């Protein structure tokens, strides 16, 4: 690779047919959102077309994609909380 040329990671695109029969190539994250919103008729897997409602499909819950912590903040220095 020539000097000064950065490698760019190309995210795979998934051929997806929406309920209105339009076809798009979307990222896995976009496909998850479309599936959650029941906008997908079918999408292409390496083994062939997966038809929504006929084939088994796993949808990632939104909480699996974002890392939100609901517990107490333990990273703060206890002394920093005592400053008046």
Task: Please state, in angstroms and rounded to a whole number, the distance separating the CA atoms of residues 49 and 2.
Answer: 39
What local confidence, expressed as pLDDT, does residue 67 receive? 55
Task: Please state, in angstroms and rounded to a whole number, the distance separating the CA atoms of residues 79 and 9.
Answer: 43
pLDDT in tens, the chain (84 residues): 667 777 777 889 999 999 999 999 999 999 999 999 999 999 999 999 999 999 999 876 665 545 555 667 666 666 555 555
What local confidence, expressed as pLDDT, does residue 80 receive? 54
Sketch the domain layout of the chain as residue ranges.
10-57
Strand order across the 23-26 sheet: 23-26, 14-18, 40-45, 48-51
**What's the helix, strand, coil split of the chain in %, to 5?**
20, 25, 55
What local confidence, expressed as pLDDT, does residue 61 receive? 64
């Amino acid at each position: 690779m020539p000097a000064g040329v950065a490698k760019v990671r190309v995210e795979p695109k998934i051929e997806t047919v929406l309920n209105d029969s339009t076809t798009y190539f979307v990222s896995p994250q976009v496909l998850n959102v479309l599936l959650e919103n029941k906008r997908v008729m079918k999408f292409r897997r390496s083994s062939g077309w997966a038809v929504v409602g006929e084939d088994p499909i796993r949808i990632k819950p939104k909480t699996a994609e974002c890392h939100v912590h609901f517990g107490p903040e333990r990273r703060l220095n206890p002394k920093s909380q005592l400053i008046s």
